[in-house]
Amino acid sequence: MSAIAEMPPKKFELLPKESGDGELLEVAMGPHHPSTHGVFRMDVALDGEHVVKLKPVFGYLHRNHEKIAEGTTYLSSMPYTDRLDYFCSLTNNWAYALAVEKLAGLQVPERAEFIRAVTAELTRLQNHACLIGFLTQDMGASGTPLMYAFREREKILDLFESLTGARMMCNYMRFGGCRCDLPDGWLAQAQKVVDETPKFIDEFERLLAENEILMARTQGVGKLSGELAINAGVTGPILRAAGVNYDLRKVDKYGIYERFEFKVPLGDHGDTYDRYMIRVLEMRESVKILQQALKSIPDGPIIDPKAKLRGFRPKVGEAYGRIEAPKGELGFYLISDGGPNPYRYRVRPPSFINLTVLEDMCVGQMIADVVIILGSVDIVLGEVDR
C-alpha cells in the first residue's frame, strides 16, 4: 500500500459560526468545477445552502504576460494580447494599439478606424451572446441558449477568419492602423450577418426574457449598488446595470465613436437580471453602430505611413490607452525609455477588477446563486490571471 492510502481519511472542515447553533461547511468550488469558467476557485463557507463567506482564489492561469512584454519589442506583444481575453482578441489588440499610438504619436487613417470599430462591435456582439448562453447554462438550461449563441458566434468568427486568418487569435491591429485590408466581398458578407442578428436577438428574448424561472432565478439576486461599483472600480455592463452612466465610447470618444448614433442602456436594480438585460440591449445598440459603420466605410490607406514595423522605438514618455471592451474598461499602461522594449507594461483587465466585488454580491445568497452571479460578472481567466 502506498503512503497515501495509509493516511487516515480527512474529516470535513467545519468552521465555527459567529452566532446561532450549528457549524459552517467550507466548500472549495474550483479549481476544477464545471461552472467556474476556467481554473478559478471560490472558497465558500456555507450555512445550510446560504453563503456566509466567499474568498475568490485566482492565479492558476498566471502566465507572466506583463513581465514577458517588457522583455520583447512592442510589436511582438501584439499577438500575446490576443491571449488575454481570448473571447475578444480584437478589442485587446485595439486597446494595446491605442496605448502605443498615444506613446508614439501615430495617426490612424480613417478607413482603419472604421475597420477597428466594425471588428470591435462584432466582437462585442459575439461576447455578449455567448455570455448569455453561459449564464443560462449556469442556471441549468442544458445548453440550448448556449448552442444558439454559438451558432451566431460561428458566423462572426467566420468573418474574422476571412479578414485576419484566425478565428480567435486574430493579431490584426498594428500601431497606426491594421495589418491588412478588407478582402473582396467582406463588407457584403458582414452586412448579411449584421442584418440577421436582430432576428437572433429577438429569438433569444422570446425564449428567455419573460421566462418565469429565469426571472425568479435572477431578479433580486446578486445586487450591486452603484456606489460600491464606483468605489471598487467596476466597469462595463455590470456598472451600467447598477445605474451608472459610464461608457468609454461616450466618455472618451476614442476612435470614431462620436460619429455614430447609439444609446447607453442603464439598469435600475443592479441585480443579475439587469446585467443580463443590459447585455441584450447593448447587442441591439452594437447592431445599430455596425449598420451605420458598414454603410460609410471610406476608401484609403489602412495604416499610418509613418508607422515603422521594424526598429520601432517610441520616444521617452508614458501613455495609457483604454477602450470599452465587452467586459469593461480595458487599459494598457506603457512607459517607454526610448528603447525597442517598453520599460513598463501594465494591463488593466476589466474582468479582474470586476471580480473584486464578487463577495459583496454573493454573501447572503444561496450556493446556486453564486454560480450565476459569477456567470453574470463575465470573466475570462486568461485576462484575470494574465
Alpha-carbon span 90 to 170, nearest angstrom: 6
Alpha-carbon span 79 to 168, nearest angstrom: 11
309 lines the binding site for other proteins (CB under 8 A): no
Shortest spacing between CB 35 and other proteins, in angstroms: 4
Q: What angle do CA 265, 114, 349 make, to 5 degrees?
A: 55
HSE (side-chain half, CA atoms, 13 Å) at 95: 31
Shortest spacing between CB 249 and other proteins, in angstroms: 11
Angstrom distances, CA of residue 134 to CA of 229, 337, 371, 374:
23, 43, 11, 11
Comparing C-alpha atoms, which of 194, 178, 190 is closest to residue 110?
178
One residue of 31, 33, 228, 307 binding other proteins per CB under 8 A: 33
Q: What angle do CA 127, 283, 301 make, to 5 degrees?
A: 80
Shortest spacing between CB 331 and other proteins, in angstroms: 22
One residue of 81, 91, 136, 291 binding other proteins per CB under 8 A: 136
111 lines the binding site for other proteins (CB under 8 A): no
One residue of 17, 62, 63, 151 binding other proteins per CB under 8 A: 151
- The cell numbers describing 68, all together, are 514577458
Give me the phi and psi of 383, to 5 degrees please: -90, -35
Amino acid code (one letter) for 170: C
Quick check: helix, strand or coil at residue 230?
A: helix
Nearer to other proteins by Cβ, of 203 and 337: the residue is: 203
One residue of 15, 39, 61, 141 binding other proteins per CB under 8 A: 141
- The cell numbers describing 125, all together, are 456582439
Alpha-carbon span 194 to 188, nearest angstrom: 10
Nearer to other proteins by Cβ, of 131 and 214: the residue is: 214
Q: Which residues contact 45 (CB under 8 A, 6 or more apart)?
A: 15, 24, 25, 26, 27, 51, 52, 53, 54
Q: What angle do CA 190, 196, 197 make, to 5 degrees?
A: 90
The site string for other proteins over 328-367 (x = CB under 8 A, - otherwise) reads: --------------------------------------xx
Q: Which residues contact 382 (CB under 8 A, 6 or more apart)?
A: 38, 61, 83, 84, 85, 86
Nearer to other proteins by Cβ, of 191 and 211: the residue is: 211
Residues 164 to 193: which contact other proteins by CB under 8 A?
none
Shortest spacing between CB 366 and other proteins, in angstroms: 6
Shortest spacing between CB 255 and other proteins, in angstroms: 19
Nearer to other proteins by Cβ, of 117 and 214: the residue is: 214
Residues 230 to 269: which contact other proteins by CB under 8 A?
245, 247, 250, 263-269
One residue of 85, 369, 378, 383 binding other proteins per CB under 8 A: 369
Residues 2 to 21: which contact other proteins by CB under 8 A?
4-5, 9-10, 12
One residue of 61, 68, 166, 215 binding other proteins per CB under 8 A: 215
Crossing angle of helices 186-208 and 272-295, rounded to 10°: 160
273 lines the binding site for other proteins (CB under 8 A): yes
- Binding residues for other proteins, rule: CB under 8 A, are 4-5, 9-10, 12, 25, 27, 29, 33-35, 46, 49, 136-144, 146-148, 151, 207, 209-217, 219-220, 245, 247, 250, 263-269, 273-274, 277-278, 281, 366-371
